[in-house]
Amino acid sequence: MSSSILLRSAFKSAAGRNALRSTLQVRHAASSSTQYVPGGPIYKGTVNDPTTFPPPSKTHGSYHWAFERLLSAALVPLTGAAFATSGSAYPILDGILGVSLVMHSHIGFDSMIVDYLHPRKFPVLGPLMTWTLRTATVATLVGVYQFNTNDIGLTELIAKVWTA
Amino acid sequence: MMSARAVGLGPALRRAAFSQNLARNQVALRTVLFKRAVQTQSLPPAASEEILNQQRLKRPSSPHFTIYQPQITWLGSIVNRVTGGALSALLYGFSIAYLVAPGTFDSAHIVEFVAGLPEYLKYSGKAILALPFAFHSWNGLRHLSWDMGKFLSVKGAYGTAYAVLGATAVSTVALVLM
């Protein structure tokens, strides 16, 4: 009802038109100042506002996908080689496995964090877990390198434990 | 009277019938009969967002997967993630443990510890390790075949799922007996 009154007054005079414009502006300001609440089913804006998308990036898209596939496919002959021979005969096998398996694991863990602890829903825990994973991955890479260098290596360890 | 009660007019009619004034006063009768039950409230247009957000907070979440019939397609996907996560957790756990305490988690100590375990523990431990490794390996090949555009149909998904289960069973037994 108030809007119809405003409309009527808007047609009457320039002052009324200004009043209408200021009403619309106030309304717009109110909708943009409404706080977005992370962690709840509240989205930015009204039902008429489009959802936001991350900027397109090949690094997070096709390149990332192709890298994941190449890594997974590379693990097939590497796993076969680990059954056929051992890291003692070919230390490079333990070296490659120690990097590729950790990368494969990191991508898998990262997908779980993105799926279950997305920053949109978990603004604190999500990034915290992402950085915890990054720290753990670096520590794992160093640990595997140390084990492959100073001890018997991954494949030899599995073979010995299996027949222990 | 029954029909009046059925449409919810019972109390109003009863009040009108027993009240001397109301029976004669047509205006009062109308007021009693057509009293609005819904209260309205005048709100500025800017309040719509607040109401919308309140409604959004009361929205139920989308159907949880427990309402779906268990199907090998999505069960296999979950098991793939769980087995991969478990194997990766073992790799991470061992590597970080070796990094922190190389004297405790070196190969000699681990092999010595495993050798001292009773036979049934050795076999069950090997089965617990072999099963996720076998499943994740075979299902990984299934995923790679999908990525190459093969078996991308319901029939293909089911056929490869049963193939993966069979290969997992055989290779788990073979690995445990190795």
Of the two residues B128 and B37, the one the predictor is more confident about is B128
Q: Do B31 and B74 fall into the same domain?
A: no
- Band the pLDDT of A32: cuts 50, 70, 90: very low
Contact A19, A6 (CB under 8 A): yes
Q: What is the pLDDT of residue B28?
A: 60
Q: What is the pLDDT of residue A157?
A: 95
Of the two residues A121 and B117, the one the predictor is more confident about is B117
Q: Do B167 and B117 fall into the same domain?
A: yes
Provide the number of CB pairs (under 8 Å) joining chain A to chain B: 106
Question: Is the pLDDT confidence value at A21 over 90?
Answer: no
Q: Do B90 and B151 fall into the same domain?
A: yes
Instruction: Name which of B49, B98, B107 is nearest A146 (Cβ-Cβ).
Output: B98
Contact A103, A138 (CB under 8 A): no
Q: What is the pLDDT of residue B9?
A: 58
Q: What is the pLDDT of residue A16?
A: 45
Q: How far is B91 from chain A (nearest CA, A)?
A: 8
Q: Which domain holds residue B6?
A: 1-37
Q: How far is A161 from chain B (nearest CA, A)?
A: 5
CA pair distance B113, B106, nearest whole angstrom: 11
Question: Is the pLDDT confidence value at B13 over 80?
Answer: no
Q: How far is A140 from chain B (nearest CA, A)?
A: 5
Q: What is the pLDDT of residue A126?
A: 93
Half-sphere exposure of A80 (CA within 13 A, CB side): 6
CA–chain centroid gap for B110, Å, is 38
- Band the pLDDT of A151: cuts 50, 70, 90: very high
CA pair distance A67, A59, nearest whole angstrom: 10
* Angle between helical axes of A91-116 and B72-100 (0-180°, round to 10): 120
Name the phi and psi angles at B161, rounded to 5: -65, -45
Q: What is the pLDDT of residue A119?
A: 84
Output the CA torsion B61→B66→B68→B74 (10° steps): 100
Q: How many CB atoms lie within 10 A of CB A112?
A: 15
Task: Measure the CA angle with vertex B48, ends B45 and B49; round to 5°.
Answer: 125
How many residues does the structure list for chain B?
Answer: 178
Q: What is the pLDDT of residue B12?
A: 57
Task: State ipTM.
Answer: 0.72
Contact B144 A143 (CB under 8 A): no
Q: What is the pLDDT of residue B54?
A: 79
- What's B81's domain CATH number? 1.20.1300.10
**Tell me, what DSSP letter sits at residue B123?**
H
Contact B57 A109 (CB under 8 A): no
- Band the pLDDT of B155: cuts 50, 70, 90: very high
- On whether residue B64 sits in a domain, the answer given is no
For chain B, helix (H) and strand (E) counts, in that order, are 9, 0
**Distances from the Cα of B57 to the Cα of A33, A46, A97, A115, A122, angstroms:** 18, 14, 48, 21, 16
Q: What is the pLDDT of residue A108?
A: 96
Q: Do B22 and B109 fall into the same domain?
A: no
Q: Do B90 and B170 fall into the same domain?
A: yes
Question: Is the pLDDT confidence value at B110 over 90?
Answer: yes
- On whether residue B56 sits in a domain, the answer given is no
Q: How far is A82 from chain B (nearest CA, A)?
A: 13
Q: What is the pLDDT of residue B50?
A: 80
Percent of chain B with pLDDT over 70: 77
Q: What is the pLDDT of residue B47?
A: 83
Question: Is the pLDDT confidence value at B79 over 50?
Answer: yes
B99 touches chain A (CB under 8 A): yes
Could you tell me the domains of chain A? 2-33 (no CATH), 58-162 (1.20.1300.10)
Q: Do B116 and B172 fall into the same domain?
A: yes
B138 burial type by CB count under 10 A (0-12 exposed, 13-18 middle, 19+ buried): buried
A6 burial type by CB count under 10 A (0-12 exposed, 13-18 middle, 19+ buried): middle
Contact B96 A162 (CB under 8 A): no
Question: Is the pLDDT confidence value at A30 over 50?
Answer: no
Closest chain A residue to the Cα of B138, Cα to Cα: A76
Q: How many CB atoms lie within 10 A of CB B66?
A: 6
Domain count, chain B: 2
Contact B111, A160 (CB under 8 A): yes
Instruction: Name which of B48, B56, B110 is nearest A161 (Cβ-Cβ).
Output: B110
Q: What is the pLDDT of residue B1?
A: 44
Instruction: Name which of A69, A142, A162 is nearest B178 (Cβ-Cβ).
Output: A162
B140 touches chain A (CB under 8 A): yes
Q: What is the pLDDT of residue A99?
A: 97
For chain A, helix (H) and strand (E) counts, in that order, are 6, 0
3-state class of B8 per DSSP? coil
Q: Do B10 and B74 fall into the same domain?
A: no
